Amino acid sequence: MPLPKAELHLHVEGTLEPELAFRLAERNGVRLPYADTEELRKAYEFADLQSFLNLYYELMAVLRTEQDFADLADAYLTRAAAQGVRHAEIFFDPQAHIARGVPMSTVVEGLWRALGNSEAAHGVSTRLIMCFLRDESADSALETLEAARPHLDRITGVGLDSAEVGHPPAKFREVYEAAAALGLRRVAHAGEEGPPAYITEALDVLGVERVDHGLRCLEDPALVERLVRDRIPLTLCPLSNVRLRAVDALTEHPLRRMMEAGLLCTVNSDDPAYFGGYVADNYHAVRAALGLTKEQMRELARNSFLASFLADDEERRARYLAEVDAYEFSAAVP
Ligand code: HPA
Ligand code: ZN
């Protein structure tokens, strides 16, 4: 049995496996510029974030109907459950779909077909986090929030993703203020490729409660001190960092140092179809590469629930934490 955990940094569009991409392409009469899944997999060689995003946005062309979004999310939840995920907070990128003529309602209601049934079907509780594309305008983000208003009963929070460098958080001050006024929780990608100042700005200007990635905080000791003191969770994605060349190799990943510095670290998969592993694969990979102990693995799992947006269901959070505390590691784990 896998270690029970929450996944807090997962782009649902990044769970699109090549097989499903081709199946949906055929169903929707969309032509992909790859002969087959094997040829597509060969394109999964990335130099940086942008080279990944190019393929990520290209493949979204196959997602057109509510059922497509439902199938995508259901495939993720099936895999997540098998990896010990008990709770998933799932990002989606509405602007990337609206720009292709797929309305917000199709995206949200499609995802909800799977999410609304996830506890019964998979034993996984869920939340949805709507991300704004930071390489689009602030006005576009505001329009997106407006388009989401009829669906806010399905949406727990807002996030910020896509190409980071050159698109600092402060550009989105207004839309984050509006989101906060609507009672939405706030997170943002910061310090993946961008400088530590973007992390500080996400905290100070956008009021984020959790930082996605946050890897580059290590370059600013005062910021690390603040993140430790204020118990700001970081959603780290180790296999993503290797694939997008944010770190040279998994053995060089700072996760262990970050945990030992007192940071509230979580481990997540980001875009698992593209980066070679789902969340338990990330846990196993860092354990092996960094020599994490059983108690450090348990700390990561505990952190995932502590950092989750389960404030509206503390009873459930306590139940999940008790499952982590009671978990017995197999002898294979040091
Ligand atoms: N970083 C930024 N934007 C993204 C990512 C990521 O890893 N995945 C999907 N959108
Ligand atoms: Zn991400």
Query: What's residue 331's pLDDT?
Result: 67
Give, for 127, the enclosing helix (H) or strand (E). strand 125-133
What integer best gives the mean pLDDT of the chain? 98
Domains of the chain: 5-306 (3.20.20.140)
For the full predicted model, state whether its pTM sits above 0.85: yes
Alpha carbon of 50 to those of 45, 177, 192, 197: distances in Å? 12, 28, 12, 20
**pLDDT score recorded for residue 330:** 85
- Looking at the predicted structure, is the pLDDT value of residue 334 above 60? no
Ligand 2 centroid distance, CA of 31 (Å):
27
Greater confidence (211 vs 1) lies with: 211
Tens of pLDDT, residue by residue over 116-167, are 999 999 999 999 999 999 999 999 999 999 999 999 999 999 999 999 999 9
Centroid of ligand 2 to alpha carbon of 134 (angstroms):
12
Confidence band of 56 (pLDDT split at 50, 70, 90): very high
pLDDT at 333 over 60: no
Q: Which ligand is nearest to the CA of 271?
A: 1
Kindly tell me the sign of the dihedral angle through the C-alpha atoms of 15, 21, 25, 31.
positive
Task: Kindly state the average pLDDT of the residues 260-277.
Answer: 98
**Ligand 1 residue neighbourhood (C-beta within 6 Å):** 11, 14, 49, 56, 161-162, 189, 192, 240, 270-271
Q: What is the mean pLDDT of residues 80-85?
A: 98
Q: CA 73 → CA 128, 165, 176, 272, distances in Å?
A: 11, 29, 26, 13
CA 326 – ligand 2 centroid, Å: 30
